[in-house]
Structure 1
Amino acid sequence: METNERRSALAMLLALPVGVAALSGSAAAAPRKAGAADRLDRLASHQEITDILNQYARGWDRLDEEALRGCFWPEAQHQHGGFKGLSQDFITKAFPMVAKVKGTRHSISNIFIEIEGDRAFAECYFAATHRRMNAAGTDEEDYFLSGRYLDRLERRGGVWKIAMRRGLNEFERVEPRADVSLAKADPEQLGRRKPEDPYYTMLAAFRAGK
């Protein structure tokens, strides 16, 4: 009886490494949870990409060419409306056209971002208002355009920028000017473009410690 017990105990000991190995294999096969550093990197990347999307909108509204070009890598591809080519060329072509209208207002929303290492895919909605002269040249009108931006982004040297953009237009409307108080407001009360807009003077003062 004692011999049988020793044999059973030996068999259990011999089987133990096999069981441990099996458990180790299961653990290795299980997906690895992202560590704190990975989660922090993804959170920071998400914010940096969001900043780029907003910078593009602000760049058009303030007619800030430097801000616009800074959103894209030099070889970034661009397709929006009837344009298909380099993003830098899109800015070159559209800049004087936007400069002719009295003002614009672009808003970004519904942002979705998926990140894989140094690559990312983003979708966002845009809504743009353009104050311009009507076709007859008799008064101003508002042209509304909204749609989505689909972007592929890359991080190079720790910096995120757009490597490819596809703009999709989904809604437009034209309405006569309907200003009430703003039509007669003092220019000091209204937004302007670079470099006259108070954003640039106040930012410069802030950076100077004032």
Structure 2
Amino acid sequence: MIDQYSPERMIDRAMIQDVIYRWCRAIDRLDRQGMLDVFHPGAHDSHGAYIGPIEGLVDWVFERHKPITFSSHFIGNMLIEFASPDVALVESYIRTIQQYPAAAKNELAQLTGGPSGAPDSAIDMFTSSRYLDRMEKRDGEWRIAHRTLIQDWKQIVEVREQALQPREGWVIGRRDGRDAMQEARKELGIA
């Protein structure tokens, strides 16, 4: 029986949490390399509409997310269970909010099973899901070896009016590699 809370496992827990958090940042900023970096080469993902190698998932995400103006992944409960010092099962509750402009109805239909909303309106999609990840530590680094997305709930809301009306000087999130966070990381030499 492995000690789930030894000092070594506590360090591993922090490293595993960082992997999950880095995934959320990478997908929301459309950072291709960041998405790939949280998975081991040859990893597999079962993501509902996409099932296959991680490289294909990242290609699918990039294509599907092109027209999405806003994406936010939020991690809630995270339970980490070690099967061995180098293998862990991780269940992470995830909430997502994404805005699909009217022109992105086909991308949205991939996730909902069919078209939603009036043809000329934007759509906000809210989800509650869980990532079920088999994490493996290889060469001292934790990454995802296999991910299954468990979909629990989705809600679609038509956007009749944009609530955010930016004024001069406001910092607005971006998905083009020039987000304020990405610029700050470059400035500090972190990127």
Paired with 1:174 and 1:93, the residues of 2 have a C-alpha distance of 21
Aligned counterpart in structure 1 of residue 12 of structure 2, from 45, 49, 56? 45
User: Over residues 159-184 of structure 1, what are the superposed CA-to-partner deviations in whole Å (9 max), with x where a residue is unaligned?
Assistant: 0000000001111111122543x134
Q: Give the TM-score, by structure 1 length.
A: 0.75
Counterpart of 2:136 in structure 1 is 154
2:98 to 130, 138, 148: 130
C-alpha deviation, 1:80, in angstroms: 1.4
Whose helix fraction is larger, Structure 1's or Structure 2's? 1
Partner of 2:15: helix, strand, or coil? helix
Corresponding position of 2:149: 167
What TM-score do you get using the length of structure 2 for normalisation?
A: 0.82
Tell me by how many angstroms 1:158 deviates. Answer: 0.3
Q: Deviations over 1:90-146 (max 9, x none)?
A: 111121111221111110110000122111110011111111123545232211122
Q: Counterparts of 1:11-30 in structure 2 under 5 Å? A: none
TM-aligned CA distance change 1:85 to 1:91, over 3 Å: same
C-alpha distance in 2, partners of 1:55/1:72? 11
**Whole-Å separation in 2 of the counterparts to 1:87 and 1:68:** 9
SS in 2 for 1:68: helix
Alignment partner, residue 142 of structure 1: 124
SS at match of 2:175: coil
Over aligned residue pairs, what C-alpha RMSD do you find? 2.1
Distance 1:147 1:84, change over 3 A: same
* Total equivalences in the alignment: 173
In 2, the alpha carbon distance for the partners of 1:184 and 1:153 equals 40
Are 2:77 and 1:95 aligned?
no
Residue deviations 1:43-89 (CA, integer Å, cap 9, x gap): 11101111111111111110111110001111111111132211221
Show structure 2 runs of 5+ residues with no match.
106-117
For 1:51 and 1:84, locate their aligned partners in 2 and report how far apart those are by CA, in whole Å: 24
% identity of equivalent residues: 26
CA, structure 1 residues 146+187, in 2 after alignment: closer, same or farther (shift >3 Å)?
farther
Larger Rg: 1
Q: Which runs of 5+ in 1 are unaligned?
A: 1-30
Distance 1:111 1:137, change over 3 A: same
Q: 2:86 aligns with which of 99, 105, 118?
A: 118
Structure of higher RCO (CA pairs closer than 8 Å, 6+ residues apart): 2
| Equivalent runs, 1:104-115 vs 2, <5 Å | 104-115=71-82
